[in-house]
């Protein structure tokens, strides 16, 4: 399938998605969401896939939603555009294998929301993060008001949302928005290493971990514990778990 805004390729067990609108700082428009929606569906059919890496081309990861496109919208169109973005980003959250954001530059507005929808965020030293929507008389529309505080806590989220301040990769690391900061020329190498570490683990265990994390975070603690126990027990019926424990006892690498 040919895409205009996204580039994709799969190496071994990792898929790499690059947002490719460098002249527009990879601004997210309706075509981006359509392409990403289709691409995620295509990738979900790949049973060998163990991780996905999303990055941007040029100086930006994604510098926000496409303001030129939004400037023509009224309430109904704006709500529909928000719903579309939420649907696609929720598909990233629910994607069966971990999704890693390799943030190479500006991750502002919708770009920050895209990064936050990923499971893990690795940033270049050149990366910058922010939610500047209030400066346009807007609020985030792709779950930023909900996912950001769940990621970094309400107070830090409120600061970023209310002030619209842009922060560095190091500050993003301090508040827990990103997990690692690396030099720009080693960003994809580091993201690939993380993907390979994930790929070395039991694939069903990783999928079950992601499901437990995502669903459990939306539940009261006691219900989340019950979910954990149920899914923990279900893995004992799989050949993968038997192989993992047998390999450990025999001091060899498991054959997934």
pLDDT in tens, 136-186: 999 999 999 999 999 999 999 999 999 999 999 999 999 999 999 999 999
pLDDT at 3: 81
Angle at 70 between CA 66 and CA 73, to 5 degrees: 165
- Residue 133 bears catalytic tag: yes
Angle at 152 between CA 38 and CA 25, to 5 degrees: 45
Give 153's DSSP letter.
-
Residue with tokens 């530059």: 105
Which pLDDT tens digit goes with each residue over 192-235? Answer: 999 999 999 999 999 999 999 999 999 999 999 999 999 999 99
pLDDT at 1: 56
Q: Which two tokens stand for residue 221?
A: 């603690």
pTM for this entry: 0.96
Q: Do residues 14 and 53 make contact, with C-beta atoms less than 8 angstroms apart?
A: yes
- Residue 204 bears catalytic tag: no
Average pLDDT of every residue of the chain: 97
CATH of domain 203-249: 1.10.12.10
pLDDT at 97: 98
113: left (phi over 0), alpha (psi -120 to 50) or beta: alpha
Fold for the domain defined by 6-199: 2-enoyl-CoA Hydratase; Chain A, domain 1 (3.90.226)
Q: 34, 57, 133, 183: which one is catalytic?
A: 133
Residues belonging to the chain: 256
Beta strands 128-130 and 167-168, pairing class: antiparallel
Q: 113, 196, 225, 237: which one is catalytic?
A: 113
3-class SS at 30?
helix
Q: Where are the domains of the chain?
A: 6-199, 203-249
């Amino acid at each position: 399938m040919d895409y205009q805004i996204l580039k994709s390729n799969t190496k071994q067990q990792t898929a790499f998605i690059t947002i490719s609108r460098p002249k527009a700082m990879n601004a997210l428009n309706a075509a981006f969401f359509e392409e990403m929606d289709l691409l995620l569906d295509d990738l979900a059919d790949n049973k060998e896939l163990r991780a996905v890496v999303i990055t941007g081309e040029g100086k930006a990861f994604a510098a926000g939603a496409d303001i030129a496109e939004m400037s023509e919208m009224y309430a109904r169109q704006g709500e529909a555009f928000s719903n579309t973005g939420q649907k696609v980003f929720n598909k990233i959250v629910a994607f069966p294998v971990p999704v890693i954001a390799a943030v190479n530059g500006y991750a502002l507005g919708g770009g920050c929301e895209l990064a936050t929808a990923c499971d893990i965020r690795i940033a270049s030293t050149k990366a910058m993060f922010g939610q500047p929507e209030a400066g346009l008389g807007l609020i985030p529309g792709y779950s930023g008001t909900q996912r950001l505080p769940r990621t970094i806590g309400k107070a830090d989220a409120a600061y970023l949302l209310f002030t619209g301040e842009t922060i560095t990769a190091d500050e993003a690391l301090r508040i827990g928005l990103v997990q690692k900061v690396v030099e720009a020329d080693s960003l994809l190498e580091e993201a690939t290493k993380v993907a390979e570490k994930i790929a070395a683990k039991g694939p069903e265990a990783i999928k079950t971990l992601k499901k437990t994390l995502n669903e459990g975070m939306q539940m009261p603690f006691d219900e989340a514990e019950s979910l954990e126990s149920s899914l923990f027990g279900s893995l004992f019926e799989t050949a993968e778990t038997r192989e993992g424990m047998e390999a450990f006892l025999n001091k060899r690498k498991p054959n997934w």
